[in-house]
Structure 1
């Protein structure tokens, strides 16, 4: 699984974790969060973008993204569940690599592109339960910036 860094280009999950560690070592007393979110946009095919973000709380962030194209994803439920599945896959891979470092206990959030307003409100209980049942904190809109801001930027 490869991601793209806006500044460093194509990177493996192992490379991302090394880069995250370097970023955190620049300011070791900082407070950090690992955020994973996926968004999508449908045209002829559906473009899914998963973002991995390391947020130095109050002092910026570094992020990486991955695009995946799928055909025939027109149903909102299918789209949201695919986004969530891609986020959980990415967070599991990143956490597995982080487990080999001193940052294995890093605070992790999965951001999902659902919220109380709009058609996705019917999916909140299922999706939030799925993510929490997988062992991760979950954020929904309007607090899901990993999905609604960073990942969304690269679906265009």
Structure 2
């Protein structure tokens, strides 16, 4: 992980990317490196890669050879969040990124579905719970900070 992190820093020096997206990538690897076990890193990477798909607790638990009950205890112990809570936060972070880079090209509903939410009401409720504001209020803010800190 450290080598990958150093490589990303080198790539950034050679070819600067959008600063916000680069910081997200580096932070994601830093966070993954700080997680206590390989099993948790595998789960978090799996969630990051597949957040837009319907993810079931049993499928994710099977992928790391744990029963759903044992997986729930293990995941909460190491992340401080439930599986569903963590998944929702990942989805909200991605929706924040998409909303900020959207430029009114897509309706909020399309972004919600693209991030794995099954309904607009669920998206609005979850977004407000995680961010403390509605998606439309988030869009109206002239903030350059990104919402990755919620993870």
**Higher fraction of helix:** 2
Give TM-score scaled by structure 2 length: 0.29
**Higher fraction of strand:** 1
Greater relative contact order structure (CA < 8 Å, 6+ sep): 1
Greater Rg over alpha carbons, structure: 2
